[in-house]
Amino acid sequence: MLPAFTPRQVKLTKQRDEARAEGAYRGASIHVEADFAPDGALVDFEIDTHRGWRKTGLGSERDLPDAARRELDRLLGPDRATFEVSLVKAGALADGEPAFEVKGRSGDWKWEIELSASGQLLELEKERRRR
């Protein structure tokens, strides 16, 4: 899922259906959680940098700066070709840098990705859609 992720610590829960990891992604410290179905299939994947930001309103995919768009493309990987944006929210980090939340879906997956204008990943959630 994240080729540039370097884990420092990985923990499986007692049920062995959830994995948690701490590590680094492109120089930022992140927390990763993944949930699995009984057959081992990935059900939910979350990344959090623990950098909060204030959402101020709605935006559009056109509002994303080039660096944020490149990181969005990198994170979506092959799913980018079929990714349909459903919502974009705009806001700012504590230092005033613009930040964005992009929600959408691709195939059986729904995505929520939060990025700074400079392309830093803030949070990512990838979850199997319930039909």
Question: How many structural domains does the chain have?
Answer: 1
Query: DSSP secondary structure string, the chain?
Result: --TTEEEEEEEE-TTSSEEEEEEEETTEEEEEEEEE-TTS-EEEEEEE----EEEEEE--GGGS-HHHHHHHHHHHGGGGGG-EEEEEEEEEETTS-EEEEEEEEETTEEEEEEEETT--EEEEEEEEPP-
Higher pLDDT: 102 or 128? It is 102
With 0.95 as the threshold, say if the pTM is over it.
no
What pLDDT score was predicted for residue 48? 85
Q: Maximum distance among all alpha carbons in the chain?
A: 44
What pLDDT score was predicted for residue 26? 73
Residue 25 has pLDDT above 80, yes or no: no
What pLDDT score was predicted for residue 7? 72
Q: What is the average pLDDT score of the chain? A: 86
Mean pLDDT of 122-130: 87
Higher pLDDT: 34 or 120? It is 120
Spatial CA neighbour of 97 closest among 48, 42, 56, 43: 56
Domain extent at residue 90: 5-128
> Which residue matches tokens 């899922």?
1
Give residue-wise pLDDT tens across range 37-92: 777 777 888 888 878 899 999 999 999 999 999 999 999 999 999 999 999 999 99
